[in-house]
């Protein structure tokens, strides 16, 4: 228990930025008589606020006592610090004084939820006065405290203080004192915070230090862990757990701050820490309560143990790809056999988008191919071929499967055939299919077989049959699509065939369904989002396409295949907007990808858009090699009408842009030949003939309108509008020109309109009608808590918190996080500064 002295500093300066300070001082100011209880963790500012309260009480006159004994003997106010440290008899006497209600009593205590006398004290004060809870400072409050001390709260300083103190007031003040002497030197601030932490640790008894060390490697503070590992009785274990929760070493969510761990380890000693780690591992394993977070913390601390390695492997096997990749790395550090985990580690790394790691592991596997089991070799080739496909090198993918050969491909026969077809090697694909699958007839194997069949059927010209096969493939692969890496997804192949056939609504539908279930950040999610943007652009929804492009991740470079599509999107949008400057910039940005890409059957669409950009800018030689590769690929595949029509349509437009009708003729003839098996190609062929007549100034307005509307019907409204607009400039009949301009306008307007039945794009009106759970999330969000910390408070998953925040944001129509917080404050959320300890 400490004696509280009055302070000369103005209370407002003393308590600036301290959450709950104003509420506490206001409660003290009106308590005559009355009771106020201040509850907060160690270092949260209790003594500071009691000093300010002493100043307020002194201004009233009268005696202010600092002990229960003095208050029992004399009249006057009682100002008591450290009630949690009092003996039971003194706390009982304090409780009796509170219940009498005949004087002002101000008490500060750390939380002790399992102490019956303190619980009774809190209940009594709540009925007679106020209980004010202190908490850690948010970054906003740290900034406010710095300003009141004459220190410029730069974002870097604020972040440094938050990261190195967890927002604990005493640590923040130590850091601010250092910042005042060395402005701009974050290392000095960090060192001061560390020194404060080390000083605090030195005052802990050995048992408390051991319990803290134990909990620093645990995902939570658990009394049973402490009791079992330290071999103390359950009541003592509970007391130690409560002391840790009330210390200056815990997060807002109630776990030990990460930066505390190394300091606790030093204070405890290497040998003792290792013993505690092993005790924690054994305790959790015996109780069946070991979790991935605790296991990884033990691994990161350098603990090697076969039981730990096995547990982390089990966690990795059940985790999402991104988490699984980290867990397999941890398992190896814990002592697991890296070779045994190589294929699994390789697969999840690729699925999570880390192609560099996946390729490195796959290459290491292939260099010892002779020592691999057949399934391991097949998997290594599949992953390596898939990585190559994502990197725009389908030729390497095909080379890998030709090296493996049809007799060793095992269960991946269909994968091999699909890759070889996409690379334009039909004979090798036929040889692979002739062998047949050598694996079990699982739903995944059947789904991949249907992808290969659908691709082969589409190349043969059987569009409806191919679409049926691919649709069935998507259904069969829905459960395994996120756990097994493939060169491309069934959804992507289906959507691309739809785009090559003018079936935009079908493409939009299959992509929309896939995006609902794609794991966030996965390679498939990125692929499907890019194709959804492409579908919107081709359909004339330029704003929607641009918005989708803007949602693509920027924290790491796109893989070459997606980069090719994105560059195609950007030049396509610039061309459709008529923005020559943007077209030049986007074309220049695309050059590294254009220079290193290997054309395949599934990349003809972005190639076509980039081709038109090059022609428009007079830079066609830069892309001629890719156009020629594409034409050679189509020739090797027997000029497939369904896939070749789009490239030839781009060829028609390239000839028009280059004002070279002679170059249009080969593409027009190819479209005419394809028209026999493809209604889409037939529509393009008819439009090509009309466009040629427009260039020769021979076309009539009626036939132009018919061709333009035909383009709209096959999913190319923007192209139809352009045809009508171009013809309007060339026809001699004024009435015909006016009609064609109206046609062009109507096609553009129709393509820009949202689909029938689509949700409106305008945000929901801002209202305060949040659900109870959303209101809880909003309050904690305004306190500066992270999604994980909010989840810990509300006993829900961080992902669930993310969903709640997204719904609140949509409901209020907020376009940014700062706008969301401002709107929530305006609606009255976050008014109270107190929170539960």
How many Cα atoms occupy the beta-carbon half-sphere of 467 within 13 Å?
A: 15
* pLDDT over threshold 90, residue 345: yes
CB 121 within 8 A of CB 146: no
**Angstrom distance (rounded) from CA 636 to CA 634:** 5
Residue 506, pLDDT score: 94
Q: Model confidence at 832, in pLDDT bands (50, 70, 90)?
A: very low
Render pLDDT for 123-155 as a digit per residue (tens, 0 to 9). Answer: 999 998 999 999 999 999 999 999 988 999 999
Is the pLDDT score of 708 beyond 80? yes
Q: Looking at per-residue confidence, does 799 or 364 come out higher?
A: 364
Residue 91 has what pLDDT? 93
Q: What is the pLDDT of residue 14?
A: 72
Tally of CB atoms within 10 A around 38:
29
DSSP string for residues in 714-749:
TT-HHHHHHHHHHHHTT-S-HHHHHHHHHHHHHHHH
Q: How far apart are CA 601 and CA 106, in angstroms?
A: 78
* Residue 813, pLDDT above cutoff 90: no
Check whether the bond before 47 is cis (ω within 30° of 0).
Answer: no
Report in angstroms the alpha-carbon separations of 410 from 235, 436, 445: 61, 9, 11
- Burial label for 239, CB within 10 Å (0-12, 13-18, 19+), is buried
Instruction: Specify the higher pLDDT residue, 814 or 484.
Output: 484
Using pLDDT thresholds of 50, 70 and 90, give the confidence band for residue 473.
Answer: very high
Mean pLDDT of the chain: 88
Instruction: Return d(Cα 442, Cα 794) in angstroms, integer.
Output: 41
Q: How confident is the model at residue 836 (pLDDT cuts 50, 70, 90)?
A: very low
How does DSSP assign 119-158, residue by residue?
Answer: HHHHHHHHHHSEEEE--PPPHHHHHHHHHHTT----HHHH
Res. 701: pLDDT tops 90: no
Amino acid 269: pLDDT: 93
Confidence class for position 320, pLDDT limits 50, 70, 90: confident
pLDDT on residue 200: 94
**Beta-strand runs (E) in 20-87:** 34-39, 64-65, 77-80
Burial of 812 (0-12, 13-18, 19+ CB in 10 A): buried
Neighbours of 635 (CB within 10 A): 11
CA atoms within 13 A on the CB side of 203: 8
Cβ atoms 238, 223 nearer than 8 A: yes
756 band by pLDDT with thresholds 50, 70 and 90: very low
Element (H, E) at 104: strand 104-109
Q: Which of 107, 163, 112 is nearest to 137 (CA)?
A: 163
Which of the pair, 739 or 527, is modelled with greater confidence? 527
Q: Which contacts (CB < 8 Å, 24+ apart) does range 314-322 have? A: 316/344, 316/348, 317/344, 319/292, 319/348, 320/352, 320/519, 321/347, 321/348, 321/349, 321/351, 321/352, 321/482, 321/483, 321/519, 321/522, 322/348, 322/352, 322/353, 322/519, 322/521
Can you tell me the distance from the alpha carbon of 411 to that of 418, in angstroms, rounded to the nearest whole number? Answer: 13
Helix (H, G, I), strand (E, B) or coil at 474: helix
Question: What count of Cα atoms within 13 Å lies in the side-chain half-sphere of residue 523?
Answer: 30
Position 835 confidence tier, pLDDT thresholds 50, 70, 90: very low
pTM: 0.74
Is the confidence at residue 818, as pLDDT, over 80?
no
Residue with structure tokens 């190195």?
164
CA quadruple 94, 95, 98, 99: dihedral sign: negative
Show the CA angle centred on residue 640, arms to residues 636 and 642, nearest 5°.
150
Q: How many CA atoms lie within 13 Å of 775's alpha carbon, on the beta-carbon side? A: 10
Burial 678-715, CB ≥16 within 10 A → b, else e: bebbbbbbbbbbbbbbbbeeebebebbbebbbbbbebb
Query: What is the pLDDT, as a whole number, of residue 353?
Result: 85
Q: Which of 471-485, 658-672, 677-691, 814-828 has the lowest mean pLDDT?
A: 814-828
Q: How many residues does the chain have?
A: 837
Give the per-residue pLDDT at 826. 59
700 SS3 class: coil
The more confident residue out of 79 and 665 is 79
Q: What percent of the chain has pLDDT over 90?
A: 61
Task: Determine the 3-state secondary structure of 37 from DSSP.
Answer: strand
Which residue has tokens 């709540």?
A: 126
Quote the tokens at residue 83: 């009630």
More confident: 311 or 435 = 311
Residue 750 burial class via C-beta count within 10 angstroms: exposed 0-12, middle 13-18, buried 19 and up: middle
* Cβ atoms of 215 and 280 closer than 8 Å: no
**pLDDT at residue 142, rounded to an integer:** 93
Q: How high is the pLDDT of residue 764?
A: 40
Please tell me the distance from the alpha carbon of residue 402 to that of residue 411, in angstroms, as a whole number: 15
In 10 A of CB 259, how many CB atoms? 16
Confidence at residue 578, expressed as pLDDT on a 0 to 100 scale = 82
CA angle 573, 608, 603 (to 5 degrees): 105
Residue 457, CA distances (Å) to 451, 470, 501, 504, 641 in order: 10, 10, 14, 20, 11
Span 201-219, pLDDT tens digits: 999 999 999 999 999 999 8
Listed residue (825, 766, 771) closest to 794, CA to CA: 771
Note the pLDDT of residue 798. 81
DSSP for 191-250, written as a single string:
HHHHHHHHHHHHTS-HHHHHHHHHHHTSSS--HHHHHHHHT--HHHHHHHHHHHHTSTTB
Q: How far is CA 391 from CA 295, 559, 596, 628, in A?
A: 35, 5, 10, 20
Contacts of 588 (CB under 8 A, 6+ apart): none
Q: In what order do the strands lie in the sheet with 130-133?
A: 64-65, 77-80, 104-109, 34-39, 130-133
Q: Is the pLDDT of residue 577 over 80?
A: yes
């Amino acid at each position: 228990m400490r004696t509280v002295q009055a302070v000369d500093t103005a209370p407002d300066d003393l308590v600036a930025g301290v959450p709950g300070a104003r509420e506490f001082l206001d409660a003290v100011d009106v308590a005559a008589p009355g009771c106020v209880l201040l509850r907060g963790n160690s270092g949260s500012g209790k003594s500071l606020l009691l000093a300010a309260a002493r100043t307020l009480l002194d201004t009233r006159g009268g005696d202010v006592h600092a002990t229960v004994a003095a208050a029992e003997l004399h009249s006057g106010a009682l100002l008591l610090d450290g009630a949690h440290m009092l003996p039971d008899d003194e706390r009982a006497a304090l409780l009796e004084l509170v219940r009498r209600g005949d004087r002002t009593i101000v008490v500060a205590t750390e939380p002790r939820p399992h102490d019956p006398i303190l619980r009774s004290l809190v209940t009594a004060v709540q009925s007679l006065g106020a209980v004010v809870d202190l908490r850690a400072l948010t970054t906003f409050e740290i900034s406010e405290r710095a300003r009141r001390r004459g220190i410029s709260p730069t974002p870097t300083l604020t972040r440094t203080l938050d990261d190195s103190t967890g927002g604990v007031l005493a640590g923040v003040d130590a850091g601010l004192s250092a910042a005042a002497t060395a402005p701009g030197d974050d290392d000095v601030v960090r060192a001061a915070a560390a020194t404060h932490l080390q000083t605090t640790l030195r005052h802990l008894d050995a048992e408390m230090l051991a319990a803290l060390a134990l909990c620093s490697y645990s995902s939570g503070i658990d009394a049973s862990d402490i009791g079992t590992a330290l071999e103390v009785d359950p009541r003592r274990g509970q007391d130690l757990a409560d002391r840790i929760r009330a210390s200056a070493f815990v997060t807002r969510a109630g776990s030990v701050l990460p930066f505390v761990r190394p300091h606790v380890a030093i204070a405890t000693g290497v040998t003792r820490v290792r013993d505690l780690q092993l005790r924690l591992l054994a305790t959790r394993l015996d109780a069946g309560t070991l979790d991935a977070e605790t296991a990884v913390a033990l691994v990161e601390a350098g603990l090697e143990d076969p039981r730990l390695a096995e547990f982390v492997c089990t966690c990795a096997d059940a985790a999402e790809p991104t988490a699984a990749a980290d867990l397999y790395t941890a398992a190896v550090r814990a002592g697991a056999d890296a070779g045994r985990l190589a294929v699994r580690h390789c697969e999840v790394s690729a699925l999570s988008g880390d192609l560099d790691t996946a390729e490195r592991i796959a290459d290491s596997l292939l260099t010892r191919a002779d020592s691999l089991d057949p399934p391991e070799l097949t998997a290594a080739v599949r992953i390596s071929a898939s990585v190559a496909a994502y990197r725009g090198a389908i030729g390497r993918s095909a080379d890998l499967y030709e090296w493996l050969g049809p007799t060793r491909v095992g269960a991946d026969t269909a994968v091999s055939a699909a890759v070889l077809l996409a690379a334009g090697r039909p004979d090798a694909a036929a040889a692979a299919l002739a062998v047949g699958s050598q694996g079990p007839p699982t739903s995944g194997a059947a789904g991949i077989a249907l992808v290969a069949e659908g691709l082969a059927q589409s190349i043969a010209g059987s569009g409806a049959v191919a679409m049926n096969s691919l649709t069935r493939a998507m259904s069969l692969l829905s459960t395994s699509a996120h756990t097994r890496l493939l060169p491309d997804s069934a959804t992507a192949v289906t959507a691309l065939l739809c785009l090559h056939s003018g079936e935009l609504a079908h493409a939009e539908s299959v992509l929309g369904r896939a995006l609902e279930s794609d794991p966030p950040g996965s390679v498939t999610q990125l692929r499907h989002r890019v194709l959804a943007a492409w579908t919107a652009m081709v359909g004339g929804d330029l704003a929607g396409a641009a918005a989708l492009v803007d949602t693509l991740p920027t924290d790491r470079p796109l893989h070459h295949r997606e980069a090719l599509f994105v560059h195609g999107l950007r030049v396509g949008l610039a061309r459709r907007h008529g923005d020559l400057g943007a077209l030049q910039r986007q074309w220049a940005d695309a050059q590294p990808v254009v220079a290193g890409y290997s054309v395949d059957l599934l990349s003809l669409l972005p190639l076509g858009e980039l081709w038109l950009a090059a022609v428009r800018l007079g830079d066609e030689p830069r892309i001629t090699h890719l156009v020629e590769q594409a034409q050679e690929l189509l020739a090797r595949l027997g000029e497939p009408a369904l896939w070749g029509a789009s490239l030839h349509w781009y060829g028609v437009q390239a000839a028009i842009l280059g004002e070279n009708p002679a170059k249009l003729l080969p593409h027009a003839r190819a479209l005419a030949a394809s028209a026999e098996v493809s209604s889409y190609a037939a529509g393009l062929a008819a439009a090509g003939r009309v466009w040629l007549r427009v260039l020769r100034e021979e076309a009539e307005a009626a036939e132009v309108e018919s061709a333009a509307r035909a383009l709209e019907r096959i999913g190319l409204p923007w192209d139809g509008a352009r045809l009508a607009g171009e013809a309007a400039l060339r026809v001699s009949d004024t009435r015909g020109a006016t009609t064609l301009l109206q046609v062009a306008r109507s096609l553009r307007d129709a393509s820009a309109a949202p689909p029938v039945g689509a949700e409106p794009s305008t945000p929901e009106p801002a209202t305060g009608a949040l659900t109870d759970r959303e209101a809880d999330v909003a309050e904690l969000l305004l306190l500066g808590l992270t999604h994980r910390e909010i989840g810990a408070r509300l006993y829900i998953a961080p992902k669930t918190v993310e969903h709640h925040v997204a719904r609140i944001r949509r409901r209020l129509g907020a376009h940014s996080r700062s706008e969301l917080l401002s709107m929530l404050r305006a609606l009255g959320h976050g008014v109270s500064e107190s929170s539960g300890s």
